[in-house]
Amino acid sequence: LAAAITQPERFLKLQLVSVTPRFLNGPDWDLGVSLEPFESLANDFEEDYQKALQRFRLLQVHSQDRSQFRKSRQMVRELAKTLSQFDPPSRQTLRSGLKILAETDLRQRLGDLQVETQVLAGRNDQVVPVGASEFLFGRLTNRDSFHVLDTGHVPFLESPSEYIKALTVFANKSL
């Protein structure tokens, strides 16, 4: 999002999936994550990376439907297996990423985004509430469409067919 605002010439179109302009709650923002669970997860990453990663993965997928929930948990196991083939990020990399999440607030810059944008949100997202994506979409000047999918935080993994349909319609509109 920040790159598209500051370097629009690098983008033809932009699809934002489960994105918020501000990650943490604050005095004038209640559509983010509370500081306490955020710091708890950050501490967990410092103490036990694998345990924290598993906790974070489970936050990514969420469904009210039991059969979909089982599929989501299986997907998390498969993702964990795939990721275990790679070296974990360094603690410094994790700290840097968490610092960006904690300090970034793009709410005042959303009107500067000139790239045609589609926004997708997951109805059951435990990380980025739908309201945050609605807020973001409502402040874009070159917005295309807003979709709420029946998924958690990662609709492209949880419901690939719904995701691909939204992406294809957006991508096929003339540039």
Per-residue pLDDT tens, the chain, 175 aa: give them: 999 999 999 999 999 999 999 999 999 999 999 999 889 888 888 888 877 877 777 666 665 556 666 776 777 778 778 878 888 888 888 889 999 999 999 999 999 999 999 999 999 888 999 999 999 999 999 999 999 998 888 888 888 899 999 999 999 987 5
CB 135 within 8 Å of CB 31: yes
Identify which of 56, 133, 126, 62 has the alpha carbon closest to the alpha carbon of residue 94: 56
Give the pLDDT confidence score for residue 68 in this predicted structure. Answer: 63
pTM of this prediction?
Answer: 0.85
Instruction: Pick left, alpha or beta for residue 18 (phi over 0 → left; psi -120 to 50 → alpha; otherwise beta).
Output: left
